[in-house]
Structure formats: C-alpha cells, structure tokens
C-alpha cells in the first residue's frame, strides 16, 4: 500500500525515532509499504518518519540500471565513517524538487537488523553511502537542509510552506 509522504516542515520530521524491538508481521507489512511508496515516488531511499511512523526503519535501493536491490534496515547504526568525503547533490521525498550539495563521509560501515531479526553489517560507498547516511539522519530528526546555511535553508522551507498551502487548497 502506498502511504502519503510527509512534507517539510512537519514536527514528525524533527523527532528522534524509537528503536525496533521485534520483527512482527505488522512491521514486515510496513516495510513492504515503505518500499512500494519509495519506488512509486520515485526515490532511492525512505525513512519511516517520512510516512509518520516514528520507528528506526529505513528502506533503500540505489540501483539505477539493472535488477532492483531493495534493502530494509532496522535500527541502522554507523559503525565507522571514512575521513574521505564525497559531495552529492541531495534531494528528499519530503522536500520535493529541491536539491543542494551536501558533503558527507565517502564510505561508511553500517550495522542493522534485517527482517529475519538477524544482525547485518556492510560497507557502503558511492551513492549508497550518501543515501544510507541521509536516511539514518531522518531517524534522528535531521534533514539534508540542516547541512546548508541558514538563508538557503529558510528559502527552501518557505517554498515548502507555500507548496503545502497550495496542496491543502486543492485537497
Ligand atoms: Ni530524505
């Protein structure tokens, strides 16, 4: 089921999310919904708070060409980050049509729990590294615009407030 994506500014996008304690059928179905919502948007990553669920769950698939590689990460945690940095022009499904360059570690080692309740660990680089850090930030109430200067951030926030007003009028 496709879920509506919250648009910034929204208090739920600024909150710390709670850890997942067990994998239930409801959680599996939520993960399915998140992947479906992400692919439909379309996007390469989605975090649970973006659909109003305040749990530490992210989904991603950064494959552009080739067979899809859907990933579901519960309680993801960065164990190590490289000193090398990468600059990517980032966007966010909660901040539609706005992009800005963000500097982040070029590679990260991340641990998480999978849908079988097993602990996983993987090194991410390239777009995957940027995406996983962007999505983990969402679980801590942080958006990519928080890395920008205050003027740029305010300009984007005003555009989003206007977009939300327009959407509310059309609803
Ligand atoms: Ni995002």
CA distances from 56 to 20, 88, 126, 135 (A): 6, 24, 23, 10
What sign has the CA pseudo-torsion 160, 161, 162, 165? positive
Half-sphere exposure of 1 (CA within 13 A, CB side): 7
86-90: long-range contacts at Cβ-Cβ below 8 A with a sequence spacing of 24 or more? 86/126, 86/129, 86/130, 88/127, 88/130, 90/130, 90/134, 90/144
E strand or H helix at 155: helix 150-170
pLDDT digits (tens, 9 = 90+) for 8-26: 999 999 999 999 999 999 9
What pLDDT sits at residue 51? Answer: 98
φ/ψ of 112, rounded to 5, equals: -160, 170
- pLDDT over 90 at 100, yes or no: yes
pLDDT digits (tens, 9 = 90+) for 42-99: 999 999 999 999 999 999 999 988 899 999 999 999 999 999 999 999 999 999 999 9
Question: How many angstroms is it from 24 CA to the middle of ligand 1?
Answer: 25
Question: How many angstroms is it from 136 CA to the middle of ligand 1?
Answer: 9
- pLDDT over 90 at 152, yes or no: yes
In DSSP notation, 13-57 reads GGSPPBPP----HHHHHHHHHHHHHHHHTT-SEEEGGGGT--BSE
Residues with Cβ–ion distance below 5 A, ligand 1: 92
What is the spatial distance between Cα 167 and Cα 171, in angstroms, rounded to a whole number? 6
Question: How many angstroms is it from 100 CA to the middle of ligand 1?
Answer: 12
The domain locations on the chain are: 11-170
Known catalytic residue: 135?
Answer: yes
What pLDDT sits at residue 64? Answer: 86
pLDDT digits (tens, 9 = 90+) for 26-37: 999 999 999 999
Question: How many angstroms is it from 145 CA to the middle of ligand 1?
Answer: 10
Query: What superfamily in CATH does domain 11-170 come from?
Result: Peptide deformylase (3.90.45.10)
Identify the band that residue 170 occupies on the pLDDT scale cut at 50, 70 and 90: confident
pLDDT digits (tens, 9 = 90+) for 107-142: 999 999 999 999 999 999 999 999 999 999 999 999
Characterize 101-122 residue by residue with b for buried, 16 or more Cβ atoms within 10 angstroms of its Cβ, and e for exposed: ebebbbbbebebbeeeeeeeee
């Amino acid at each position: 089921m496709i879920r509506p994506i919250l648009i910034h500014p929204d208090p739920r996008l600024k909150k710390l999310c709670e850890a997942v304690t067990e994998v239930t059928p409801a959680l599996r179905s939520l993960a399915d919904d998140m992947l479906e919502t992400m692919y439909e948007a379309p996007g390469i990553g989605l975090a649970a708070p973006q659909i109003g669920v305040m749990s530490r769950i992210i989904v991603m698939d950064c494959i552009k060409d080739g067979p899809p590689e859907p990933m579901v990460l519960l309680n993801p945690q960065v164990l190590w980050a490289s000193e090398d940095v990468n600059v990517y022009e980032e966007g966010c499904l909660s901040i539609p049509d706005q992009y800005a360059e963000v500097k982040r570690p070029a590679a990260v080692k991340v641990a998480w729990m999978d849908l079988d309740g097993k602990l996983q660990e993987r090194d991410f680089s390239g777009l995957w590294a940027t995406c996983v850090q962007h999505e983990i930030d969402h679980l801590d109430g942080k958006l990519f615009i928080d890395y920008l200067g205050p003027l740029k951030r305010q300009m984007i926030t005003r555009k989003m407030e206007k977009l939300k007003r327009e959407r509310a009028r059309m609803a």
